Amino acid sequence: MILVTAVGHLGKDAEVKQLGNTNLLEFSIASTKKGYTTSDGSVIPDVTTWINVKKWKGEGLAPYLKKGDKIVVSGDLEIREHEGKYYTSIIAQNIEFMSKRESNSEQPPF
């Protein structure tokens, strides 16, 4: 496997799916590379990249992973092929919170 680290904002609240006897936490993060204008006046637009993240037995984190939160995820890169299309995900080993919550919001228990 290839170990990767990604920084991004959650596109929506994390979800937990039950697969057999195990729970799978799933969410997606986005990172945007800002556009610019070249010296000749050409406009290069912003480019947003989305990546799916999965964490086995991560259901305890679900209440804390909310839309818009900025996080750092590290884990194994997974590339799957299905009917000629390729899907890329990170199988998370570590998830770190970068966003600071309002003082009255729930904080992660770590």
How confident is residue 99, by pLDDT bands cut at 50, 70 and 90?
A: confident
Could you write out the DSSP letters of every residue in 38-87?
-TTSPEEPPEEEEEEEEEET-GGGGGG--TT-EEEEEEEEEEEEETTEEE
Which helix (H) or strand (E) is 73 found in, with range?
Answer: strand 70-82
The residue type found at 21 is: N
Strands 3-10 and 70-82: antiparallel
Domain ranges in the chain are 3-34+45-97
Query: In this structure, what token pair is assigned to residue 78?
Result: 């997974």
Residue 85 has pLDDT above 70, yes or no: yes
Asked if residue 108 has pLDDT above 90, the reply is: no
In which residue are the tokens 């770590």 written?
Answer: 110
pLDDT digits (tens, 9 = 90+) for 10-57: 999 999 999 989 999 999 999 999 999 999 999 999 999 999 999 999
Q: Is the pLDDT of residue 106 over 80?
A: no
Specify whether the CB–CB gap between 100 and 62 falls below 8 A: no
- Side-chain half-sphere CA neighbours of 62 within 13 A: 15
Q: Does the pLDDT of residue 107 top 70, yes or no?
A: no
Amino acid found at 31: S
Q: Does the pLDDT value for residue 101 go beyond 80?
A: no
CATH class of 3-34+45-97: mainly beta
